[in-house]
Amino acid sequence: MKSPQTLRAVLTAVALLPMAATLAVAGPLDKSECIAPAKPGGGFDLTCKMAQTMLSENKLSSDPMRVTYMPGGIGAVAYNAVVAQRPGEPNTIVAFSSGSLLNLSQGKFGKYTVSDVRWLAALGADYGAVIVRKDSPFKTLKDVAAALKQDPTKVIFGAGGTVGSQDWMKAALTARAAGVNPRAMRFVAFEGGGESVTALQGGHIHVYSGDAAEAAQQIQAGTPIRVLAVFADQRLPGMLKDVPTAKEQGFDISWPIIRGFYMGPKVSDADFNAWSAAFQKAMANPSYAKLREERGLFPLSLTGTELDVYVKRHTHQYGKLAAELGLVVSK
């Protein structure tokens, strides 16, 4: 007959078996975290929450994905933290956009380059948009251009990012198309889309050079804004279907925005491939098209090597554009 101590030990071991089994099968998608490199409310937040929904709806993880916020340098703080301090975390993904690539092309992420992370997946494309308050005197993009021509200091643009950022680029291209030197325009930098919309509502800025998807979400939420133009080659379907393109209004401006994720440079191939396969499966599900449409995004599904090629090609192109606009590109 076993002693009471031996019996307790056996019972304890048996009780721990389910926990041990759970730990044994836990994978990179379990207890996962998506880092949005800005404050809540902007495009990075939107991107992380899409991943959160995709994992949940497709039952790809046993735990809800956690969304955390790491603002600073329009992505620079998060990029540096992942590369330098969290390079091998298998359950951490970070949201990025074309703005991240633009900053990388100008050397704004410090010593790190576009080759210092693993580019995981792109969920879709968005487009630049010119946004004003609903009661703004600007009714069209031509109104903004006319005001800029008359006195560029009287039109205050605002958006996430400093000079040379993606949203600054959209404002700069608007000014350039109006025949105004981008250096003459007034631009107020914020940490993300949420702060920019708040500033627009408060009258601190007159024009928000943001993104179509964010604008659609704000309109859906009842925010009193109006979209004057989208920087796409054709009108966008859905909620913004009646908004004319910049090209329709006589301004040759196009600004597609990729939205996706990267991982740390030391994440193993096995874990990286598990994430890649999960996103491929989720994006193949018919429910994904609906989710993407609800978020105002348009088809662009890339993973692994395909995305890596896309990212590096576009980063090179952004560097050339930055030089054209007279920005200093650090190497």
pLDDT per residue as tens digits for the range 4-32: 455 454 444 444 444 433 333 468 899 99
Each domain of the chain, given as residue ranges in start order, spans 28-125+257-324, 127-255
Place of tokens 């039952």: 59
Distance CA(123)–CA(47), nearest Å, equals: 8
pLDDT, position 297 = 86
pLDDT digits (tens, 9 = 90+) for 125-164: 989 999 999 999 999 999 999 999 999 999 999 998 788 8
Residues 133 and 139: beta-carbon distance below 8 Å? no
Cross-strand pairs, 260 = 96, 122
CATH architecture, range 127-255 = 3-Layer(aba) Sandwich (3.40)
Kindly report the CATH number that applies to the domain delimited by 28-125+257-324.
Answer: 3.40.190.150
Domains 28-125+257-324 and 127-255 share a fold: yes
Sign of the alpha-carbon torsion through 256, 178, 103, 202: negative
The pLDDT score that the predictor gives to residue 296 is 76
CA dist 80 and 76 (Å) reads 6
Judge whether 294 and 54 are in contact, CB under 8 Å.
Answer: no
Write out residues in the chain with pLDDT < 50, as ranges.
4, 7, 9-25
pLDDT of residue 13: 43
The pLDDT, as a whole number, for residue 329 is 64
Residues 6+ apart with CB under 8 A from 316: 105
* 190 φ/ψ angles, rounded to the nearest 5 degrees: -125, 170
